[in-house]
């Protein structure tokens, strides 16, 4: 497939540049920007001590932030204070860490769970936009307060599978820009795509709809745009992408140019990818 596309989707680094550095770290965010990401997606939890941290973890939306595979200890990050979180060590051999153990060991001093304040301060210096996935309970308001305190309202977007979190952002900040669009950008995340996904996104007045890459079709993208929202896809983590490329798809590789071209052909406006360097290079060649 050598089709050229008239539009160029926004390149968003998924958890930073996770095949080049440890996901959701300050180093990973900076590297994603260096490798061509225009925006960077991160995951954020509110700890019981009140600190906001950047971390993904395992588990379901009902029980997020699992530490066992990530750090070799039982429980969720929600069970800890930040003082306890800073003592955690990542398991370099966990196969969800796409960068592999050698890079984690080489970057040992960089491989810690950062605060959201640290990551946003870095992003402000870099001039990049951060897309925050709100994870765990009661995250929306403290994140919003921090973003405003740092003067980064126009450089931070919010998303969640828990649509009540982005609904809360919209309730608190309904502000609109002169063109009628929302100043505070929110994304309704979907894993599988229900028939009424447009209605669900509109119920919380989302700015964007974020579809799993494998559920993104030209028809769904058209529906999103006709409903007055922007479209975006998200890639699964390394384990999920390895599974999909092995068992679901046979004509594209694991986030190679052919896969990205196929996604771009849907007309989607943004792509949250694990390999921002490859997508950025592809777009430069268009």
What average pLDDT does this structure show over 272-277?
98
- The predicted-structure confidence for 57-74, as pLDDT tens digits, reads as follows 999 888 899 999 999 999
Degrees (nearest 5) of the Cα angle 35, 37, 38? 140
pLDDT (mean) for 152-171: 98
Structural contact between residues 213 and 233, judged by C-beta atoms closer than 8 angstroms: yes
What is the reported pLDDT for 61? 80
pTM of this prediction?
0.96
H helices, E strands: number in the chain: 12, 9
pLDDT tens per residue, range 177-213 = 999 999 999 999 999 999 999 999 999 999 999 999 9
Does residue 2 have a pLDDT over 70?
no
By the 10 Å C-beta count (0-12 exposed, 13-18 middle, 19+ buried), 50 is classed as exposed
pLDDT surpassing 60 at residue 221: yes
CATH topology of domain 10-284: TIM Barrel (3.20.20)
- The closest alpha carbon to 135, from 41, 202, 201, belongs to 41
Q: Is the pLDDT confidence value at 4 over 50?
A: no
pLDDT at 6 exceeding the cut of 70: no
Tokens of 200: 């669900």
Position 3 scores a pLDDT of: 42
Question: What pLDDT shows up at residue 250?
Answer: 81
* pLDDT one-digit tens code per residue, 117-151: 999 999 999 999 999 999 999 999 999 999 999 99
């Amino acid at each position: 497939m050598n089709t050229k596309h008239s539009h160029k989707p926004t390149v968003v680094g998924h958890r930073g540049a996770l095949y080049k550095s440890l996901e959701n770290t300050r180093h990973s965010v900076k590297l994603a920007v260096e490798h061509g990401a225009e925006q960077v997606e991160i995951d954020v939890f509110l700890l019981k001590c009140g600190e906001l941290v950047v971390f993904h973890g395992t588990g379901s939306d009902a029980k997020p932030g699992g530490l066992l595979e990530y750090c070799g200890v039982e429980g969720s990050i929600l069970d800890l204070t930040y003082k306890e979180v800073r003592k955690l060590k990542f398991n370099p051999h966990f196969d969800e860490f796409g960068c592999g153990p050698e890079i984690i060991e080489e970057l040992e001093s960089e491989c810690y769970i950062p605060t959201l304040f640290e990551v946003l301060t870095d992003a402000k210096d870099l001039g990049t936009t951060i897309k925050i996935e709100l994870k765990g309970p009661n995250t929306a308001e403290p994140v919003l307060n921090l973003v405003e305190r740092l003067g980064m309202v126009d450089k931070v977007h919010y998303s969640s599978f828990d649509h009540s979190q982005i609904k809360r952002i919209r309730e608190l900040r309904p502000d609109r820009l002169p063109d009628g669009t929302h100043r505070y950008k929110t994304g309704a995340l979907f894993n599988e795509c229900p028939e009424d996904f447009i209605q669900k996104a509109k119920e919380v007045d989302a700015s964007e709809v974020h579809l799993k890459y494998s559920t993104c079709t030209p028809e769904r993208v058209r529906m999103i745009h006709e409903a007055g929202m922007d479209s975006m896809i998200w890639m699964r983590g390394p384990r999920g992408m390895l599974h999909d490329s092995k068992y679901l798809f046979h004509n594209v590789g694991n986030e190679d140019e052919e896969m990205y071209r196929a996604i771009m052909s849907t007309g989607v406006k943004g792509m949250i990818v694990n390999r921002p360097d490859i997508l950025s290079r592809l777009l430069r060649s268009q």
